[in-house]
């Protein structure tokens, strides 16, 4: 389950975000992304694995999907606010 979400996140990150990053900042911007991802992802993986062991599957899925939805909603709101100010 966790591997699916990590793969999905990295697939989207690689196909869309890196393209935009290279177009905007050039290849030097990749270093800015690779280092934090390499530091943060292992900690998130350990946390998700621990959470998966403690919660029943239905509650784990509800928490995971709910968290992803909240993050996407927050990002959409931030984009709307940022774009409106520009």
Q: How far apart are CA 79 and CA 85, in angstroms?
A: 10
What is the tens place of the pLDDT at every residue in 9-44?
778 777 777 787 778 877 777 777 788 888 999 999
What is the tens place of the pLDDT at every residue in 51-84?
889 999 999 999 889 998 998 898 888 878 777 6
pTM more than 0.95: no
- Give the three-state DSSP class for 1: coil
């Amino acid at each position: 389950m966790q591997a699916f979400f990590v793969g999905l996140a990295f697939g989207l990150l690689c196909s869309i975000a890196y393209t935009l990053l290279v177009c905007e900042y050039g290849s030097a911007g990749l270093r800015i992304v690779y280092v934090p991802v390499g530091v943060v992802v292992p900690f998130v993986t350990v946390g998700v694995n621990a959470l998966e062991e403690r919660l029943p599957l239905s509650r784990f899925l509800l928490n995971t999907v709910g968290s992803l939805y909240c993050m996407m909603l927050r990002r959409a709101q931030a984009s709307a606010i940022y774009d409106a100010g520009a």
